[in-house]
Structure 1
Amino acid sequence: MRAVVFAYHDVGVQCLQALLTAGIEVDLVVTHQDDPHENVWFSSVAKLCEERKIACITPTNTELISLIPQIQALAPDYLFSFYYRHMLPAELLACAKIAALNMHGSLLPKYRGRAPVNWAILHGETQTGATLHVMEAKPDAGAIVGQVAVPIGPDETATDVFGKVSQAARAVVQQVLPELLQGIVPKQANDLSKGSYFGGRKPADGEIHWQQTAAQIHNLVRAVAPPYPGAFTDWQGQRMIVACTSLNGPFPAELRLETPGIQVVDNQVFGIGGDHKAVAILNWYPANP
């Protein structure tokens, strides 16, 4: 079996390694150039390709269409997308002789779209996972090919959970490869009515609104904790990044729970939510030291 792989990030590295281990011939890998303005804390698909001597290119989004003749000439059995950041045009998907498959970092149909791990934590989910599905023109809408769930701990950050999801993604690929190698694509319904689509997140979305509940504030901090841009609030004229919080007490009796916002008691920092409950701020620092 031969494949062309579009991949980036830790999920891209894990899933590409799984294909190579299984003996799939990867004729071409399409990845991204790292953004110099982004905190690149994850593994490099380009570096893996260099080590394994696999042809690797980094076209822009507008250049994807021009790849069609090259990929048609390769005649891949499968086209895979593993955390590649651009939508692949339908004409490109049609280059796969058997199927074009995408790995998504949630338990589809839940959390379709961008930043699925961050959104799952933000909404207080206790589990998420990785789903391999058939690619269609509409994002994350094709039939489910394989799926593995992972738990989300009450204090785990997006980075913690993303590590689990990366391993789950590799497990999904390993789970379905025996059938894929026989040219069989197992499919189950992806009922879009049982999930929602979410867009990308911006650093400005990390602003803490103290009218929210303490649990919602804690979940926001976990969802965007560094190396993501971080949750933030203004205190005494200074913008502060709130990097780590806890809902676990006991909390000082002196806290004024009726007043949302930051309070400092005995040199400890706390936040009071709109539900009159406290969250301990274990780590915060100036956004612009």
Structure 2
Amino acid sequence: MNQVNQHAVVFAYHDVGVYCLQALLDAGMHIDLVITHEDDPNENIWFGSVAKLCQENHIPYEIVERDQLLKLLPRLIALSPDYIFSFYYRFMIPVELLKVPKLAALNMHGSLLPKYRGRAPVNWAVLHGEVETGATLHVMEAKPDAGDIVDQIAVSIEIHETAHDVFNKVSNAAKRVIERVLPKLMKGEIPRSPNDLSRGNYYGGRKPEDGRIDWSQPAITIYNLIRAVAPPYPGAFTEFQGRVWILSKSSLPLIIETDLSPQVAQILKKSTPGLHLVDNRYFGLCGDGKVLELLSVEVQ
């Protein structure tokens, strides 16, 4: 199949959408239509704009609400694309649309499938203390993140990195995945390997309330929560002195007897788990008796 004849409809948003859409354009894929999201006025918009990229490249695009997606079916049938791509698109694409492309409907997911299927995969990976994640291009089916794997690239998660740091790495890995597999896709060839769902789990979306700190938990668990939801995400939080405090950065877990001064150690040994102000420094005493020094705090 001649690669100049490859046409696609793309559902895209966020940096992953920008990077992967640009990779399609660079490879010569003809983009018939892009579907993207309206920015949420309540969300911190720190990422690139798919709509802006479409405007700059004169690509037709539309913003379609979740309950309006099925109305795209006649238009997609008329376009008869070879591929549908989904790059960080936040709505489930109806199965009726996934059946339209002549070759395949492919989604880019921000984990090493089959691990961390579902929502917020980068945040969940950091929260669980993973040392590796990645980006996976896979075939879309009715069940989310369940189709065959086309290609994937791993990235490391360093112990000091926040979810934002890791997301940037995953976004770049997604671009490399697309660039690596595009020569085959442009020929109509779709590599496929099994996506063994028994080797991973499905995770739901995360809400700001999920950032509430439970100081009875071990220090490493709280440390991972803080970096998993650090800005630009809503942040981990706790109540202290009658107000809500956002905790954006902390030290690694500290041992009271060896890592703290005698004066600080003496006070914390007599304290209950929670946030404490000692010698003009903020410390979190955790359920396992270890301590986090809070390096970035903001009172609301």
Give me the TM-score of the superposition, normalised by structure 1.
Answer: 0.97
Deviation of the 1:248 alpha carbon: 6.0
Bigger Cα Rg = 2
Find the aligned partners of 1:268 and 1:236 in 2 and give their Cα distance.
15
Question: What residue is the counterpart of 2:3 in the other structure?
Answer: none
Tell me the SS of whatever aligns to 2:28: coil
Give 1:251's match in structure 2, choosing from 247, 260, 274: 260
Is the Cα contact below 8 Å between 1:221 and 1:243 reproduced in 2? yes
Find the aligned partners of 2:174 and 2:261 in 1 and give their Cα distance.
43
Unmatched tracts of structure 1, length 5 or more: none
Question: What residue is the counterpart of 1:286 in the other structure?
Answer: 299
Deviation of the 1:112 alpha carbon: 0.3
Find the aligned partners of 1:119 and 1:5 in 2 and give their Cα distance.
26
Tell me the SS of whatever aligns to 2:260: coil
What RMSD, in angstroms, separates the aligned Cα atoms of the two structures?
1.0
Find the aligned partners of 1:66 and 1:262 in 2 and give their Cα distance.
52
After TM superposition, the structure 1 = structure 2 runs for residues 70-89 of structure 1, keeping only pairs within 5 Å, are 70-89=75-94
Give 1:107's match in structure 2, choosing from 104, 112, 119: 112
The runs of 4+ residues in structure 1 deviating greater than 2 Å are 248-259
Deviation of the 1:209 alpha carbon: 0.3
Tell me the SS of whatever aligns to 1:173: helix
Is the Cα contact below 8 Å between 2:253 and 2:290 reproduced in 1? no
Q: Give the total of aligned pairs.
A: 287
Is the Cα contact below 8 Å between 1:79 and 1:101 reproduced in 2? yes
Identity %: 60
Unmatched tracts of structure 2, length 5 or more: 1-5
Find the aligned partners of 1:251 and 1:130 in 2 and give their Cα distance.
40
Give 2:276's match in structure 1, choosing from 244, 256, 263: 263
Tell me the SS of whatever aligns to 2:225: helix
Question: What residue is the counterpart of 1:195 in the other structure?
Answer: 200
Tell me the SS of whatever aligns to 1:64: helix
Find the aligned partners of 1:252 and 1:175 in 2 and give their Cα distance.
53
2:144 pairs with 1:139:
yes
Is the Cα contact below 8 Å between 1:105 and 1:116 reproduced in 2? yes
Structure with the higher fraction of residues in helix conformation: 2
Find the aligned partners of 1:9 and 1:60 in 2 and give their Cα distance.
16
Tell me the SS of whatever aligns to 1:247: coil
Find the aligned partners of 1:10 and 1:220 in 2 and give their Cα distance.
23
2:199 pairs with 1:177:
no
Structure-2 change in CA distance of 1:205 and 1:248 (3 Å): closer
Is the Cα contact below 8 Å between 2:223 and 2:253 reproduced in 1? no
Give me the TM-score of the superposition, normalised by structure 2.
Answer: 0.94
